[in-house]
């Protein structure tokens, strides 16, 4: 459980780093207002966008897999708690009379 939290924290930090890299040139005033974007701004936006998409995709995938694992373990617990169903091919009479199952399944002979 601890490693799962560590993974989520790492992905959130990566997402925040991508957001900061994307917004950084504008927040720090490195990109002049109402001018064409310089190469550094385009590079920062591309890198930040890639980081954001990667982190967000990994967070969504990790969340989906975690939900899938929880559902699978819940289904397994339900199956373990459910009593075993009797085999429909066997008859309760077979315990008292061992030959009854074969007698029931054989087709009657016509004279």
Is the pLDDT at 47 greater than 80, yes or no? yes
pLDDT of amino acid 78: 72
The percentage of residues in the chain with a pLDDT greater than 90, rounded to a whole number, is 41
User: Model confidence over 48-69: pLDDT tens digits?
Assistant: 999 999 999 999 999 999 899 8
Tokens of 9: 């924290």
Would you kindly state where each structural domain of the chain is located, as residue ranges?
A: 2-83
DSSP state of 91: -
User: Model confidence over 69-85: pLDDT tens digits?
Assistant: 888 888 777 766 666 66
What is the C-alpha separation between 106 and 111, in angstroms, rounded?
15
Chain centroid offset of residue 91 CA: 43
H or E element, residue 16: helix 2-27
């Amino acid at each position: 459980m601890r490693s799962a939290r560590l993974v989520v924290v790492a992905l959130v930090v990566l997402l925040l780093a991508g957001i900061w890299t994307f917004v950084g040139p504008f927040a720090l005033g490195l990109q002049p207002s109402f001018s064409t974007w310089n190469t550094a701004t385009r590079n920062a936006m591309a890198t930040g966008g890639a980081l954001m998409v990667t982190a967000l995709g990994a967070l969504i995938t990790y969340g989906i897999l975690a939900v899938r694992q929880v559902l699978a373990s819940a289904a397994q617990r339900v199956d373990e708690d459910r009593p075993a169903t009797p085999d429909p091919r066997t008859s309760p009479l077979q315990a008292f009379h061992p030959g009854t199952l074969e007698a029931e399944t054989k087709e009657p002979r016509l004279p």
